[in-house]
Amino acid sequence: MPNAVWRPVINRTPGGRTEQRGLVLHVQADDTSPFGWFNQSGSQASSDFWVSRTGVIEQYVETGSDRAWAQGAGNSAYASVETEGTPDQPLTEQQVEGVARIYAWGAELWGWPLRVVDSTTERGLTFHGAGGRAWGGHPDCPGEIRKAQRGRIIARAAELLNTPTPPVTPPPVPSFPAWPGRYISLRSPYLRGDDVRQWQQRMRDRGWSLDVDGVFGPASARVARAFQSEKGLDADAIIGPATWSAAWTAPRT
Ligand SMILES: [Zn+2]
């Protein structure tokens, strides 16, 4: 697979892949590359892929022709991916990305369907524990947390397959602080806060004479009313969403 580190191992059955039903998710229950373990006959174990916490993808067998030894009776029909870490830890973002890249690759080459299955016969992204004893009896592989992340893996794989090349650069959008969510007006006691300060600073930057003290007193109300009149807004000296955004977006006159 492109962008995977190719590290062929001795534990494999050449020509042993007879079907392409999809991918089986595993948890390594350990850290660091399993290459050494997979490359000694005593372990009798291997997988097609391994994805590190940081997103490095290692490939150990010729997926599509050779059979890896990860899931007993499921080895001939499904590819396998080990994921670094333990069942109590969620896959990292980079691991989700790595497994998604493997899945997108398989979907393109062999038509692995973009869906999650809890099955030993259906095509899709399944998990080791689904196979019970016939698949080696690992009910907790990869565990509930990582099992639940398969939906995100598939969604990301779909994105990868649909990403236009080159990616479209979104147009720049003008940005200004969101309205704070409360109406700022002259009240007793005076309203105070960072939102008042932010608005005062903005009005000052626009050339209005105003103290930036974070207190909405009579001087602030006068500026608000004058600004609203100038911009054709309701001159009520209440800073709601329209008056707030106008402070950032209205042309200077
Ligand atoms: Zn497993």
Average pLDDT for the chain: 93
Cα–ligand 1 centroid distance for 48 (angstroms): 12
Which helix (DSSP H) or strand (DSSP E) does residue 216 occupy? strand 215-216
At residue 192, the pLDDT reads 96
Residue 182 has pLDDT above 90, yes or no: yes
Residue 248 has pLDDT above 80, yes or no: yes
Reply yes or no: is the peptide bond before residue 14 cis, omega within 30 of 0.
no
Give pLDDT tens digits for 3-19. Answer: 999 999 999 999 999 99
Q: What is the mean pLDDT of residues 145-163?
A: 92
At residue 174, the pLDDT reads 60
Cα–ligand 1 centroid distance for 135 (angstroms): 9
At residue 251, the pLDDT reads 81
Give pLDDT tens digits for 97-114. Answer: 999 999 999 999 999 999
Cα–ligand 1 centroid distance for 156 (angstroms): 22
Domains of the chain plus CATH, in order, are 5-162 (3.40.80.10), 191-249 (1.10.101.10)
At residue 176, the pLDDT reads 83
Residue 194 has pLDDT above 80, yes or no: yes
Cα–ligand 1 centroid distance for 12 (angstroms): 16
Cα–ligand 1 centroid distance for 154 (angstroms): 19
Cα–ligand 1 centroid distance for 80 (angstroms): 9
Q: H helices of the chain, where? A: 35-38, 93-110, 144-147, 150-162, 194-205, 218-231, 241-249
At residue 232, the pLDDT reads 93
Residue 162 has pLDDT above 90, yes or no: no
Give pLDDT tens digits for 111-121. Answer: 999 999 999 99
At residue 168, the pLDDT reads 46
Q: Which residue has the higher pLDDT, 175 or 140?
A: 140
pLDDT band at 77 (very low <50, low <70, confident <90, very high): very high
Cα–ligand 1 centroid distance for 26 (angstroms): 4
Cα–ligand 1 centroid distance for 187 (angstroms): 65
Cα–ligand 1 centroid distance for 70 (angstroms): 7
At residue 175, the pLDDT reads 75
Of residues 127, 125, 118, the one with CA closest to residue 20: 125
Residue 165 has pLDDT above 80, yes or no: no
At residue 17, the pLDDT reads 93
Cα–ligand 1 centroid distance for 162 (angstroms): 30
Cα–ligand 1 centroid distance for 86 (angstroms): 11
| Secondary structure tally for the chain: helices H, strands E | 7, 8
Residue 61 has pLDDT above 80, yes or no: yes
Region class of 80: left (phi > 0), else alpha (psi between -120 and 50), else beta: beta
Cα–ligand 1 centroid distance for 1 (angstroms): 21
Cα–ligand 1 centroid distance for 13 (angstroms): 18
- pTM score of the predicted model: 0.65
Question: Dihedral, CA atoms, 10, 44, 141, 52, nearest 10 degrees?
Answer: -30
| Residue 192 buriedness (CB in 10 A; 0-12 / 13-18 / 19+) | middle
